[in-house]
Amino acid sequence: MELKKDSNTVSIDMLLIVHSEKRRAAQGTHSDRQADPGALPQRRGGLQGGGNGIQKWQKIEGNSLNGNLADKQHPQQTQVITSYDNQGTQLTVEVHPRDTMPELLKKFSLDKRLQGDKNGNTRPRQPGGKDAHAYPWDRSSLKSMPLDLQQFEKLDTYASQVTVKSGLDELVNDLLQEAHSDLERVRAIWIWICHHIEYDIEAAQEKDRQAFKPSNILQTQKTNCDGYAGLFERMCRIAGVQCMTVPGYSKGFGYQTGQSFSGEFDHAWNAVFLEGRWHLLDSTWGSGLVDTATSKFTFLYNEFYFLTHPALFIEDHFPDNKNWQLLKPPQSLRQFENNMYHKSEFYNKGMLSAHPDTPVIRTVNGKATITVESCAPTPFMFMLNGKQEHGLLSLQKNGMKLDVYPPTMGTHKLQIFAKGSSDVYSSVLEYTLKCNYVDSGVRLPSELHQPVGPSWFSEQMGIRKPSHPDPIIHTSDGRCSVSFGVEEGVSVLASLHGDEGPVTAETQRRYIFQLQREKRTELKVQLPRAGKFALKIFVKKRQEPGNYAFVFNYLLCCSNTKVNWPVFPESFGNWGQGNELLEPLSGVLPANRNVPFKLKLPGVAKALVKGQDTWPLTLNGEGYWEGSCSTAGCQEVYVMVLENANHNFYSYILKYTVNDQ
């Protein structure tokens, strides 16, 4: 044995000859390790947490990347045994036939950075202090190294279209045609796996060892998390990039908020060595999702799990070795269990933080408050026990605030969703609420939708400068007036909703009287009784087809039990801008009475009130049309206008009903 040493490397030249008496034992050991030379380390695991795993992670190294060399190997050929210790030192032994002349074995160099050879026979160094990132997350980046994803566009397109022609070596060689650095090599492999390998639920459940061999994965293009991680490591080593498979616990498919972890590991992912530092990625979760209802896999690429910042990766990945957290300080398993789990979409959609930052919340006086901070204005919604009820969600410029009032004592599931650039809301947070008190005075209308109160979103939809910026309006006499500016070309519609009568589908708009004044809309509201009501606001661009779109609602609150306002008169389309009704405001008129009328109707030629008879209105010096009408002998009374003096056709603008005699 010869030892050579310089400033950067230590080289050991060693020759070990095993005599024939020892050969059978040596060959027996080698045969055991190579019984399935192409198989990747097998462990039950699932996409985002599915499966049970195994407690011990056993790495199986083989000379055959395609899984068939051992079967074809002639018994008289040279046998090779490779082993590693915990520090990554490699020992290689060749076993030669008795009558052959042994040759000098391969030289093994321990360098500052070990270069993986084509057969993956190099054991990378363990992570150390220089690999660690500060915890908690400093909000600087979602990635563990500076990346410009736009620079990957050409490579991503190319890698995603590469097809399997024969074996793993040729596949990697094809992928690397457009990759010119270790980072690009890792990226090409990542993109190919995420777009071509499907999660195999059945194989994971049946512990089908054949499903995790590279040759089988390439053939079926299916595997489980062990297969994903093992395949990724093999392909990286063929590409000459140091890569490790990391087992551990995960908060993924099947995870329940607040659950504890013990026993078998349930997942596996990878660490890659780039630019002098270890980085983390998970190609299983980068490839897609398993539907919890159908247990079917869907390809849905997730960029978040490529070179994820370790302070974010730890939220749903806990490795068996704390050094692979790449964190300073590392987290304990108890911390992992108790820490808030922000789903990948939380960060993908630009969110920064949430409060409380614990997965279990105890209500205070029957209420729980959650706030989320985001980089930009973001639409949110929530569900409590699967329904969009019992909460007040208000949008803010950079986030949202949610007050939740569980209707019963006990444990409740709260889900928060956010919508990014697409029209799809994604789940970003889950909380468990524990409620030991219910405030019977806080009962929100079931029709109170989200969001509550005006915001950047209502402004975006054409509603600006509201008279009431807060989402809750209190009224002592059961009446209120709400106004806001309206963008030109936008029509506004409003309706009132309560859980108890007399508001019905026919009358929900009759408790609101809408007035147009220049570029502002005023909504006069009269409540039929004491209680809580949802005042819903809708908009529509006049020139566009389709229905009115919901924008936001106010919560109207009145505790005065004497309140009993009637509906307003029904208005028609010709009730135009600038019109104003002073009296009568009640839409229900008394029978057999003379009822005074006073209205402002700019631009009309004539106005009249029609009951049993016709009663003309007179324009006074202040610009109001005045007069009176008898309700005797009629059930309905109409206000009608002649818009042009040259016409003889009157238009209906208001309708009143008359009480039964």
Which amino acid is present at 299?
F
Which amino acid is present at 609?
V
Lowest mean pLDDT among 87-91, 107-111, 205-209, 493-497: 107-111
pLDDT at 573: 79
Rounded to the nearest integer, the mean pLDDT of the chain is: 82
Q: CATH classification of 456-558 is 2.40.50.100, yes or no?
A: no
Instruction: Check whether 458 has a pLDDT greater than 60.
Output: yes
Please answer whether residues 255 and 285 qualify as being in contact, where contact means their C-beta atoms are separated by less than 8 angstroms: no
Q: Given 282, 316, 412, 497, which residue is catalytic?
A: 282
Mean pLDDT of the 565-593 span:
88
pLDDT at 503: 72
Q: At what angle do helices 182-196 and 168-175 cross, to 10 degrees?
A: 120
Instruction: Check whether 638 has a pLDDT greater than 90.
Output: yes
Position of tokens 């195999």? 200
Q: Given 30, 196, 267, 342, which residue is catalytic?
A: 267
Q: Whose CA is closest to 266, among 282, 280, 278?
A: 282
Mean pLDDT of the 618-642 span:
94
Q: Whose CA is closest to 449, among 524, 531, 540, 383?
A: 383
Q: Which helix (H) or strand (E) holds 217?
A: helix 214-220
Q: What is the phi/psi pair of residue 286, to 5°?
A: -75, -15
Tokens of 489: 């070309």
Instruction: Check whether 641 has a pLDDT greater than 50.
Output: yes
Q: Are strands 368-374 and 351-355 parallel, antiparallel or unpaired?
A: antiparallel
Q: How far apart are CA 204 and CA 254, in angstroms?
A: 15
Q: How far apart are CA 566 and CA 514, in angstroms?
A: 16
Mean pLDDT: which of 3-12, 18-27, 61-70, 364-373 is highest?
364-373
pLDDT at 25: 33
Q: CATH classification of 149-337 is 3.40.50.2000, yes or no?
A: no
Q: Are strands 267-274 and 243-250 parallel, antiparallel or unpaired?
A: antiparallel
Tokens of 205: 């459940």
Q: What is the CA radius of gyration of the chain?
A: 36
Tell me, yes or no, if 357 is annotated catalytic.
no
Q: Is the peptide bond before 330 cis (omega within 30 degrees of 0)?
A: no
Position of tokens 């209420």? 367
pLDDT digits (tens, 9 = 90+) for 402-433: 999 999 999 999 999 999 877 889 999 999 99
Tell me, yes or no, if 613 is annotated catalytic.
no
Using CA atoms, how far residue 29 sits from 85, 91, 435, in Å, is: 17, 15, 61
Using CA atoms, how far residue 505 sits from 401, 459, 509, 534, 565, in Å, is: 30, 28, 8, 13, 17
pLDDT at 312: 97
pTM of the model: 0.76
Domain at 346-435: CATH architecture: Sandwich (2.60)
Domain ranges of the chain: 149-337, 346-435, 456-558, 570-658
Q: What is the phi/psi pair of residue 277, to 5°?
A: -150, 150
pLDDT digits (tens, 9 = 90+) for 168-191: 999 999 999 999 999 999 999 999
Q: How far apart are CA 557 and CA 475, in angstroms?
A: 6
482 bridge partner residues: 523
Instruction: Check whether 27 has a pLDDT greater than 70.
Output: no
pLDDT at 30: 31
- Residues, the chain: 661
Tokens of 567: 């509906």
pLDDT at 574: 78
pLDDT digits (tens, 9 = 90+) for 59-115: 333 333 333 333 333 444 445 454 444 444 445 455 555 544 444 323 222 233 344
In the three-class reduction of DSSP (H, G, I as helix; E, B as strand; rest coil), residue 654 is classed as strand
Tokens of 75: 């018994």
Q: How far apart are CA 454 and CA 458, in angstroms?
A: 6
Tokens of 120: 């993956």
Pick the CATH number of 570-658 from 3.40.50.450, 3.40.50.720, 2.60.40.10, 3.40.50.1820: 2.60.40.10
Q: Given 133, 156, 196, 225, which residue is catalytic?
A: 225
Using CA atoms, how far residue 356 sits from 342, 363, 369, in Å, is: 12, 12, 8
Same CATH fold assignment for domains 149-337 and 456-558: no
Tell me, yes or no, if 19 is annotated catalytic.
no
Instruction: Check whether 195 has a pLDDT greater than 90.
Output: yes
Q: Is the peptide bond before 356 cis (omega within 30 degrees of 0)?
A: yes
pLDDT at 86: 43
Lowest mean pLDDT among 44-48, 358-362, 632-636: 44-48
Q: How far apart are CA 155 and CA 195, in angstroms?
A: 13
Q: What is the phi/psi pair of residue 387, to 5°?
A: -130, 150
CA dihedral 280, 285, 287, 291 (to 10 degrees): 180
Please answer whether residues 553 and 448 qualify as being in contact, where contact means their C-beta atoms are separated by less than 8 angstroms: yes
Tokens of 437: 């008190």
Q: How far apart are CA 469 and CA 396, in angstroms?
A: 11
In the three-class reduction of DSSP (H, G, I as helix; E, B as strand; rest coil), residue 362 is classed as strand
Q: At what angle do helices 225-238 and 168-175 cross, to 10 degrees?
A: 70
- Residues contacting residue 27 through CB under 8 Å, at least 6 positions apart: 79, 95
Q: How far apart are CA 454 and CA 353, in angstroms?
A: 23
pLDDT at 393: 97
pLDDT at 416: 97
